Amino acid sequence: MAEQMEKNSLKKNVLSAQIDLSKFNFDESSFEKATEEEKRQQDVMSESTTFFKDGMKKLMRNPLAVASIIVLVLILGVIIVAPHVVPYSYSQIISVNGKRDKTAKNLKPFEYSENELKYMEEGGKVFPHIMGTDSQCRDYFIRVVYGTRVSLSVGLFASILVLIIGLLYGSISGYLGGKVDLIMMRVVDIIYSLPDMLVIILLSVVLNETLKPLLEGTILQKLGVNMISLFIVYGLLYWVGMARLVRGQILTIKNNEYVLAAKATGAKGGRIIMKHIIPNCISVIIISTALQIPSAIFTESYLSFIGLGVQAPMPSLGSLANTAREGLQSYPYKLIFPAVVICLIVLSLNLLGDGLRDAFDPKLKK
């Protein structure tokens, strides 16, 4: 009975287009082996991937981008771990046996003061000054570490601020179009004409009297009025480039079929922007934000260099470089250390931004 059912299941239907392979005699010579290129093509076709995974693979094949990531990870590791290892703070004056050590002024890297050497001869232990000390008898290495923290934090915060404001403004302008777009873009043109340095100076003068009493006893007091003025200027001026970029992307995307289909189903404008338009220009947004971070860091550095940055004793890389000018001939290493860190951060972020552009921009094909 079972054999009969198996034979019936193997019987070919009269109207079936299936070929009965039993009527043909095949041998190995009847087929050609697939070439290596065809095998690779089959592997690529069968592999499931996403836009992000494909972009990351391209990024990891870029040696300059990988080197930049390694440098940035090392810098982040140092500024996170060093304050837990080095027994000094950024404002602490070197002392021995509870007394201020006046001989610890302007020490060279890995050099000890006279009092520290005497203390070590008596059996005491002193943590080495990796980058020496400054004119106020403070450990220079930990000041560079905290200066790097401040510069990176300012760059990251300013970039996020620019991203949020520019993304919202550019999305609304590009999606609505017409007179709304015309008016919003004229506002952008007006903001472009404002000199950012003059606005920072004016805000610092105005806010110095109004905000200073309000900041006493808060975390923002360490940053000072100048840095708050810088953040306000970023919120007022520096988002216009991002807004124009997002607007241009949305103008090219909003007439695509899937956007028109979303409109036809009754989707609201906000949902269309967030669910359909922004995800399709996210690569350009990521690239622009990555390139905005080094620009913000450099802006903070040169503002601190001219005295419009963080207030003493809180250091930044720019303020450390500015202070090092006084003893440039006698202690050139004080300028070299913060300058090298600024160059490494800015160069690494720029190379990483270029790598992200090459990896995630679909218009750039090798």
Please tell me the predicted confidence (pLDDT) of residue 178. 87
202 near 173, Cβ under 8 Å?
no
| Whether residue 287 has pLDDT greater than 60 | yes
pLDDT, position 318: 86
pLDDT at position 274 over 90: no
Q: What is the DSSP letter of 274?
A: I
Residue 61's Cα: distance from chain center in Å? Answer: 20
Q: What is the pLDDT of residue 309?
A: 74
Residue-wise pLDDT tens digits, 43-73 = 555 555 676 787 788 888 889 999 999 999 9
Residue 182: which pLDDT band, with cuts at 50, 70 and 90? very high
Report d(CA 293, CA 156) in Å as an integer: 6
Q: What is the mean pLDDT of residues 26-33?
A: 60
pLDDT at 292: 84
Q: Which CATH class is domain 146-319?
A: mainly alpha
Q: What share of the chain is helix, strand, coil (3-state, %, to 5)?
A: 70, 0, 30
Residue 200 pLDDT exceeds 60: yes
Stretch 241-245: mean pLDDT, rounded? Answer: 89
Average pLDDT over residues 225-244: 81
On average, the pLDDT of the chain sits at 81
Average pLDDT of 316-333? 85
**Of residues 181, 222, 179, the one with CA closest to residue 309:** 222
Phi-psi map region of 266: left, alpha, beta (phi>0 left; psi -120 to 50 alpha): left
Output the CA angle 75-145-203, nearest 5 degrees.
110
State pLDDT tens for residues 106-143: 889 999 988 889 988 888 888 999 999 998 889 999 99
Residue 110 region, left (φ>0) first, then alpha (ψ -120 to 50), else beta? left
Kindly report the pTM of this predicted structure.
0.77
Nearest to 154 by CA among 70, 272, 233, 245: 233
Q: Would you state the pLDDT for residue 337? A: 92
Find where tokens 């160069």 sit: 347
